[in-house]
Amino acid sequence: MRSIALVNQKGGVGKTTTVANLGACLAQLGKKVLVVDLDPQANLTIHLGIKSNELEYSIYDLLLWKTKAEEVIIPAGVEGLNIIPANIDLSRAEIELVNMPSRETVLKDRLFLTFKKYDYSLIDCAPSLGLLTLNALTSVREIFIPIQTQFFALQGINRLSETIEIVRKKVNPLLKVTGVIPVMYDVRTNLSQEVLNRIKGYFKKEVFKTIIRENVRIAESPSFGLPITLYSPNSYGAEDYMKLAKEVISRE
Ligand SMILES: Nc1ncnc2c1ncn2[C@@H]1O[C@H](COP(=O)(O)OP(=O)(O)OP(=O)(O)O)[C@@H](O)[C@H]1O
Ligand SMILES: [Mg+2]
């Protein structure tokens, strides 16, 4: 059982894309996978072809103790892949949770038994270090950080490292950054290579050998509600995410 939060408070760096596609690839490789949408934008839910406005239950109901995990988990279009979906209700959760006892650990309290039933649980976080992300950091053992191989990539990373350190010291001593994923790599530019070198200088061995290249098929796939391996199985994007999944498994 591995529980992993995909975190980076910078927006648009490939968190959701990576949870959807890595999750699908792990499932296609025979793993039992749960992905959790912890972002009120519900991008992960939509990416995996689920209509977020037609949900009976969502992660919001789970967090506010309105229902059980078994009621919220639904299939996500790939054999072996399940999702806890989100919708716009989640934007209220941060406010409503404030008055709850143990508000930083409610996700953990609600899901730790569920995580045990899966080989991989991947949580897609919103681009913030607010209460929802804090809940993600409290409920997992591992963190993967997707980083764009572009100019501002490392800006804000110190802040993220500090937050992780605080959570580790105060509530979750086992928490660790176990993977940094270079994404949206542009093979035509020197800048991508330079930034990749800087990322490796900062994170050292945590950086995955697999690099996710920029690929228009990846950007297209959410509008078809499919992961890249189903939308365009022969694309670079599918190749890269499958390679990443194998590397993730090899680090078990
Ligand atoms: N390798 C890639 N090649 C091309 N486009 C990509 C790639 N990875 C992600 N994208 C596109 O970049 C945009 C941002 O990606 P994504 O939504 O995964 O980021 P995010 O970190 O989840 O954003 P947010 O912080 O808003 O939740 C999306 O339009 C996505 O389709
Ligand atoms: Mg996202």
Domains (ranges, CATH) in the chain? Answer: 2-250 (3.40.50.300)
Residue 42 Cα, ligand 2 centroid: separation in angstroms? 8
In what side-by-side order are the strands of the sheet with 120-125?
Answer: 74-75, 81-84, 33-38, 120-125, 2-6, 142-148, 176-183
Q: How far is residue 181's CA from residue 209's CA, in Å, rounded to a whole number?
A: 8
pLDDT tens, residue by residue, 170-211 = 999 999 999 999 999 999 999 999 999 999 999 989 999 999
Mean pLDDT of 18-45: 98
Q: Which of 10, 13, 15, 17 to mutate to test the pocket of ligand 1 (most atoms within 8 A of CB)?
A: 17
Provide the pLDDT for residue 130: 93
Residue 132 Cα, ligand 2 centroid: separation in angstroms? 13
Provide the pLDDT for residue 102: 87
Q: How far is residue 9's CA from residue 157's CA, in Å, rounded to a whole number?
A: 9
Q: How far is residue 139's CA from residue 149's CA, in Å, rounded to a whole number?
A: 28
Q: What number does the ligand 1 atom closest to the CA of 213 have?
A: 1
- 150 neighbors 61 (Cβ within 8 angstroms): no
Ligand closest to 182 (CA) is: 1
Provide the pLDDT for residue 153: 86
Ligand closest to 11 (CA) is: 1
pTM to 2 decimal places: 0.97
Provide the pLDDT for residue 250: 97
Lowest mean pLDDT, pick from 2-6, 67-71, 151-155: 151-155
pLDDT tens, residue by residue, 112-126 = 999 999 999 999 999
